[in-house]
Structure 1
Amino acid sequence: MNKFPAQLKKIRNEQNTTQDDLASQLFVTRQAISKWESGDSTPDLNNLIKLTDIFNVSLDTLVFGAEHETKVDPTEFVFDPKHNRYVRRLGKMNFWDFLAGYWWAVLAIVFVIGFFSLFWSGQ
């Protein structure tokens, strides 16, 4: 059973958004929104993605009504489409995040320090 029409209407009403407001954000007509909510038509993929951004919900929640217990904090994480996952925004990195992401740089620094310490201690 297609839950999208009911989900769209439910989420739109929960966020106190009118069909006209939503239509203007998506650059479609109010009638298009009405048809989506009645199940007479469905939006294209671009509009589905825009709807998830506008309502700050996942595509699963919007289309299937799936409720996830974990929410993504958009101030701390951003979606990386190249790897198809959420990653921590730059600037919010702690020491362990740095080590996990840049372990190779730490090894290079340790190698360089070790090389120069051997060089200077040899004299």
Structure 2
Amino acid sequence: MKIGIKLKEARVQRKWTQDYVASQLQVSRSTISSWEVGRTYPDLESLVRLSDLFEISLDTLLREDHTMTKDLSKNIKKGRKLKWIVALVLIICLPISFWAGQKYKNQRITYLSPTIVTATSIPEKLTNAEHIDLSFDVPQGLKYHGYTEFIENSVLYISLLANFETTNKSHAEKVEIDLSEHSDAELNSLKNIVIVDGEFGAPDKTFADFEQNEIWRVD
């Protein structure tokens, strides 16, 4: 199985958007898209971060993707055996894993309050070629870190993520909620859009628990 397919399956299984994964790896959304469709491949550092993020071993990510293996081998002196490539990957990955762990271990994730979010633009007809514009004030001590969104029972749930950081003042942010990963049929069936203070709310909660945070509805 190609590594791009594995990455997309892991992301979809967790109901994460490409934007969210991109924010975690500090790369662009187009980079994530290129990896998933097989247009490009992650470098070694990105492979380690993807392994940690999705909790998938490097062996599992690389297994069966012969093109990826060949791409890695081009960076090694011609004539080296594959076992030396694997050994080099492991040697490089260990310090990178430690560095990444040290860098991100203190970056606790929280959710921005739904009450501070305002919808500045929502298309009259929702299609996967459109996007939703939101604006909000990030409180002191937090930094905007991306969003997650999920459709369930004709409701689009949106969560805004933040990191705890040392900041001395609040600041305004704007974000575009991309709809391209949903089908037009799925979007046409929407009845409500709400902002929630958790990742898609919670499994034991329903729309009624978040109705007060509604920013759009079909009359």
| TM-score between both structures, scaled by the size of structure 2 | 0.29
Q: Return the structure number with greater strand share.
A: 2
Structure with the higher helix share, 1 or 2? 1
Larger C-alpha radius of gyration, 1 or 2? 1
Name the structure, 1 or 2, with higher relative contact order (CA <8 Å, separation 6+). 1
